Amino acid sequence: MVSALIVYGTRLGTTASTSEEIAKTLREEGLEARVVDAKKEKVKDIAGYDLVVVGSGIVMGKWTSEPEDFLKKFQRELAGKKVALFVSCGSASPSPTVKPEAVAQARKNYLDDKAAQYGLRPVALGFFGAAYDYNNMPWWASMFMNAAKKDFITSGAKETKLGLYDSRDWDAIRAWARDLAAKARSG
């Protein structure tokens, strides 16, 4: 059976739930999938995995440090594996105030440049929206994000529970994971 490792870093939980949905979809496609929160657990070995998926939330234009550390630690081993990268970030969310060129630049910065930085040739790159939970944000983040709340709503973010605005396209995430499963099974 094809085995996948999903390692992620998250600040406010969005990337955790995205990782779990990717794992669920991979399992539905017949793969074994292990999910690791890189902040809580350090991966010691990746030899037993056919596919390694690394995901991060983006805040203030940066990956979280834990998946970045994972990429550094396993850079050499990852070069010989099927690898996929994904990010959960507001830049991926549709918005009437963000130009398509800015979205393309964010995708390049967070995915293409990250892969190049570590000499990786990913089989897939995922650029997914974010969720903003005003109930669990630090005060400084909620002050900054309050200014953007109208934009989230205008761009189609749904308030899935009181104070939680989610702009992720779950169907697109599942489709990405199904495609990833097919790539993992191929030669």
Confidence check: pLDDT of 66 > 90: yes
Is there a domain that residue 149 lies in? no
Size of the chain, expressed as the number of residues it contains = 187
Residues 106-148 pLDDT 10s? 899 999 999 999 999 999 999 998 877 767 767 777 666 666 6
Residue 52's domain comprises: 3-131+169-185
Confidence check: pLDDT of 149 > 90: no
Instruction: Measure CA 156 to chain center.
Output: 20
Q: Which residues contact 176 (CB under 8 A, 6 or more apart)?
A: 22, 86, 124, 126, 128
Residues 30-51 pLDDT 10s? 999 999 999 999 999 999 999 9
Q: If you average pLDDT over residues 1-15, what whole number do you get?
A: 93
Is there a domain that residue 156 lies in? no
CA neighbor of 13 nearest in space, from 50, 48, 47, 64:
64
CATH of the domain at 27: 3.40.50.360
159 or 186: which leads in pLDDT: 186
pLDDT, position 109: 96
Is there a domain that residue 110 lies in? yes
pLDDT, position 161: 72
Q: If you average pLDDT over residues 50-76, what whole number do you get?
A: 95
Is there a domain that residue 159 lies in? no
Is there a domain that residue 64 lies in? yes
Contact between 114 and 63 under an 8 Å Cβ cutoff? The reply is: yes
Q: What is the count of structural domains for the chain?
A: 1
